[in-house]
Amino acid sequence: MAQQEDIFKKVVSHCKEYGFVFPSSEIYDGLGAVYDYGQNGVELKNNIKQYWWQYMVLLHENIVGLDSAIFMHPTIWKASGHVDAFNDPLIDNRDSKKRYRADVLIEEQIAKYEDKIEKEVAKAKKRFGDSFDEAQYRTTSARVLEEQAKRDNLHKRYQEVMNAEGGINLEGMKQIILDEEIVCPLSGTRNWTDVRQFNLMFKTEMGAAAEGASTIYLRPETAQGIFVNYLNVQKTGRMKVPFGIAQIGKAFRNEIVARQFIFRMREFEQMEMQFFVKPGTELQWFDEWKKRRMAWHQALGFGAENYRFHDHDKLAHYANAATDVEFKLPFGFKEVEGIHSRTDFDLSQHAKFSGKKIEYFDPEDNTSYTPYVIETSIGVDRMFLSIMCHSYCEEKLEDGQTRTVLRLPAALAPVKLAVFPLTKKDGLPEKAREIIDSLKFHFNCKYEEKDQIGKRYRRQDAIGTPFCVTVDNQTLEDNTVTLRYRDTMKQERVNISDLRGIIEDQVTITSLLKNLK
């Protein structure tokens, strides 16, 4: 665990040192849980967004895009339930003065019991070897059964307080925290305040006060912009159910506990798609979108074992099924994407609050209905963090040195090709520039002439550049260069005219999308 935390720290400082992510307003000592993307970060982020957009919008004939405004009519947030219910239960520890989400403290306690069970099973597996019957062990081992009972009991109580009539039972939550003897990780004490609700939306004023300014909200999700444009898009695009609307954009949440770098930010970016379906078919589509989204994640090649679904125990007020796609980060399996079956809740609410009829006329059976919705919602920044954590690698080389390399999927790498003249003379820089000029229309190239070649390789390894080319005196004679591969460090002599063919094939978003067939 300590080692994993160490990796996380290294990733955070690597992000800063190599121009991926900077704390916002750093010269003013930063702003809590707000970050800026630097010269390499913005390229990686754009590539992630492109990968998502091309998969969702280009590869699905029945999904179209949208770019709705961040500011929206304030009644939208009343209709969606955010004004009344977009709250997190918070609790403070009086000794450390630290604030926590009460639900997260309880969920972590459940995870602790689950961890203990898995450790017991793993130990037994090692002890018994081939003859180990895991299913039998899980149902007969006294230790496992004891932990399982504790976990189930807590889980049941948690569900009861979360789904209590009239909203979350705040006293009940506090009682669980006391009964489970959960301590503050910082102070180690159980000196807790009561649990209170806290609304996560940022408010601002639109218009000058004298004219009667109105309070508006910074959107906490992009989804509502899609719902309120459902009729516009359906009609003007002549869309037939089932169809989807996809959008990428900023969202804002005044998170209570904003830690873990870009995992939980107050300003972040979402990629959301709402898929409108015929009522009664939603659970089928829910399963279908689970499969499709998981395939999209796994096509990045980080290994299927690093992903899992986590089905929700506590369904949001609008959902009849919900799951998270979790990815293994250095601090455990964490949600990167949510997939929700939102029923007709949102469209019906907007119909009610706006007084407009929001329905679909189905020409196939001459009926009108309010479509049901499957939503896929993924955070760009969380995706960015997962990719950085899994790509970051410190390697021991044969000569005893270590190199830090970002093994980014080539299609996501900020720079695809770096071109180095071996020296700054004899026309080598000009030749190197010539190569860049012929390739820069096809993919992102970078010119580097400072320092020895070895150092230049290291700098490119550290930002994940999959290919480097060195131009030397022989190049001037026969138009060949040394092509060096990031992952294997293999070098080979190739013709300049072959470079585009070799590289382009591996660095386009299309090459990733092809894994998805």
Q: 382 is written with which tokens?
A: 């969380």
Residue of 379, 414, 421, 464 that binds ligand ATP (CB under 6 A) = 379
Based on the shown chain and the rule CB under 6 A, indicate whether residue 108 belongs to the binding site for ligand ATP.
no
The structure tokens listed for 197 are 């609700």
Residue 503: partners with Cβ closer than 8 Å, 6 or more residues away:
416, 417, 439, 443, 466, 467
Residue closer to ligand ATP by CB (options 68, 508) is 68
Q: Could you tell me the smallest distance in angstroms from the CB atom of residue 375 to ligand ATP?
A: 9
For ligand ATP, the closer of residues 219 and 253 by Cβ is 253
Q: Indicate whether 358 belongs to the interface with ligand ATP (CB under 6 A).
A: no
222 vs 67: CA distance, rounded Å: 9
335 contacts ligand ATP (rule: CB under 6 A) = yes
Counting contacts by CB under 6 A, is residue 253 touching ligand ATP? Answer: yes
Place of tokens 């508006």: 216
How far is it, in rounded angstroms, from Cα 463 to Cα 136? Answer: 48
Among positions 377, 465, 482, 508, the unique one binding ligand ATP when judged by CB under 6 A:
377
Q: Tell whether residue 381 is a contact of ligand ATP (CB under 6 A).
A: yes
Select the residue interacting with ligand ATP from 337, 346, 461, 472 (CB under 6 A): 337
Single out the residue of 90, 182, 265, 319 in contact with ligand ATP (rule: CB under 6 A).
265
φ, ψ dihedrals at 425, nearest 5°: -130, -170
Going across the sheet that includes 491-495, the strands are: 445-447, 417-421, 467-471, 480-485, 491-495
382 binds ligand ATP (CB under 6 A): yes
- Check binding of 115 to ligand ATP (CB under 6 A): no
Which residue, among 318, 283, 351, has the nearest Cα to 75 in the 3D structure? 351
Nearer to ligand ATP, 201 or 436 (CB): 201
Element (H, E) at 418: strand 417-421
CA dist 340 and 229 (Å) reads 19
Query: CA-to-CA distance for 275 and 289, rounded, in angstroms?
Result: 9
What share of residues in the chain are helix, strand, coil (percent, to 5)? 45, 25, 30
Spatial separation of the C-alpha atoms in residues 423 and 472, rounded to whole Å: 8
Nearer residue to ligand ATP within complex by CB, 337 or 461: 337
Does 293 contact ligand ATP by CB under 6 A? no
Span interacting with ligand ATP, options 52-60, 119-127, 371-379, 458-466, rule CB under 6 A: 371-379
In the complex with ligand ATP, the residue whose CB is nearer, 342 or 484, is 342
386 binds ligand ATP (CB under 6 A): no
Q: Are 200 and 220 in contact (CB under 8 A)?
A: yes
User: Is 80 or 391 the residue whose CB approaches ligand ATP more closely?
Assistant: 80
Residues 217-246 binding ligand ATP (CB under 6 A) are 221
Using rule CB under 6 A, residue 270 touches ligand ATP: yes
Residues 6+ apart with CB under 8 A from 85: 167, 317
Dihedral sign for Cα 480, 481, 487, 490, please.
Answer: positive
**Interface with ligand ATP includes 41 (CB under 6 A)?**
no
The answer to whether residue 338 forms part of the interface with ligand ATP (CB under 6 A) is: yes
Give the CB-nearest residue to ligand ATP. 379
Q: 1: number of CA atoms within 13 Å, CB side?
A: 3
Q: Is residue 313 near ligand ATP by the rule CB under 6 A? A: no
Which of these segments, 147-155, 334-342, 429-437, 462-470, binds ligand ATP (CB under 6 A)? 334-342
Pair of tokens at residue 157: 């109580």
Least Cβ distance, residue 229 to ligand ATP (angstroms): 19
CA angle in degrees (0–180, nearest 5) for 405-406-408? 145
Judged by CB under 6 A, how many residues of this single chain contact ligand ATP?
16
Between 265 and 469, name the residue whose CB sits nearer to ligand ATP: 265
Residues forming contacts to ligand ATP in the complex (CB under 6 A) are 221, 253, 255, 264-265, 268, 270, 335-338, 377-379, 381-382
